[in-house]
Amino acid sequence: MSVLQEIHCSHCGAPIEFNPGEIVATCKYCGFTQVIETGQAFIFEHSMILNKFDTASVETPIREWMKSGFVKPRDLPKSKITEKNLVYLPFWMVPIKATTTYKGVFERITPAVEKEGKIDKEYNWLVLARKATEFPTKEYEVPLEGKIAYDFKRIEGFAKVLNSELQQYDAVEKAKQEIENLHEFLAKEDVDRIIEIKTDFSVGDPVYLHAPVWFVVYQYKSESYKLFLDGATGTVIKGDIPSINVGLF
Ligand SMILES: [Zn+2]
């Protein structure tokens, strides 16, 4: 068990519990979002994505997923769903324009030639604002059509809202790092050896966002498997699949 600490909401005075490491907290009584250390109002845009399921109806997309595809055991839909928890995960969405210029050597032909290139892209880069929460961010695309201003009244009583463990600044740095890695990967598809690479960024205003994700555990032949389901669309973001014993050998 983690040690909960408590502050009082600067807006309504209600107690706000938070865990060590959390930096930005949202009051569950009035929705006010504040920086824990200072009690100051949070100055960035705070949005949320609406969830469409309850604990009963969420079973439908889970069973659909179990039934679909070729790599799953046929009797998978008979699995027992043992856990389904709705969690509003905190993200920083960083609007960022990244321009990478690189110089490298193309060695696949003889003689090798020097080559220059440029990658110019704009992103709404998503950074999970948690350090130890297991979640496949790479596989997740925020369904932005459903984005509204954060409204605590729309948060279901049974749901859990996680606070941010990252400052906006940390999130921007993380986004830059991840984009640099991606662009280096892309450059390496163009040249065999990189001599020089440089990326310039232009960063817009990051948005703090809570998005509904169902953390699901199901049981198949006495083993437990995890899956993550997007509460806005019902799409399975990632799910563990039992391996099929195909009996070929
Ligand atoms: Zn409050």
Cis ω before 111 (30° cut-off from 0): yes
- Rounded CA gap, 92 and 23, in Å? 13
- Identity of the amino acid at 140: Y
DSSP code string of 233-245: T--EEEE--PPP-
Q: Which two tokens stand for residue 222?
A: 């006495």
How buried is 182 (Cβ within 10 angstroms: 0-12 exposed, 13-18 middle, 19+ buried)? middle
| Ion ligand 1, residues whose Cβ is below 5 A away | 9, 11-12, 14, 27, 29-30, 32
Cα-to-centroid distance, 47 and ligand 1 (Å): 17
- Rounded CA gap, 147 and 19, in Å? 27
Cα-to-centroid distance, 15 and ligand 1 (Å): 8
Cα-to-centroid distance, 48 and ligand 1 (Å): 17
Averaged over successive runs of 10 residues, the pLDDT of the chain (249 residues) comes to 75 88 90 84 88 97 93 92 97 96 92 94 94 88 87 95 92 96 95 95 95 97 95 96 70
Q: Which helix (H) or strand (E) holds 48?
A: strand 45-49
Strands 45-49, 147-149: parallel, antiparallel or unpaired by DSSP?
Answer: antiparallel
- Rounded CA gap, 221 and 74, in Å? 13
Among the listed residues 125, 142, 133, 88, the one whose alpha carbon sits nearest the alpha carbon of residue 206? 125
Q: Which two tokens stand for residue 216?
A: 């699901």
How high is the pLDDT of residue 7?
86
pTM (two decimals):
0.85
Cα-to-centroid distance, 32 and ligand 1 (Å): 5
Among the listed residues 236, 205, 241, 190, the one whose alpha carbon sits nearest the alpha carbon of residue 62? 236
Q: Which residues pair with 103 in a beta bridge?
A: 116, 196
Cα-to-centroid distance, 95 and ligand 1 (Å): 29
How high is the pLDDT of residue 1?
46
Cα-to-centroid distance, 30 and ligand 1 (Å): 4
- Identity of the amino acid at 66: M
- Rounded CA gap, 14 and 32, in Å? 10
| 3-class state of residue 141 by DSSP | coil
How high is the pLDDT of residue 182?
96
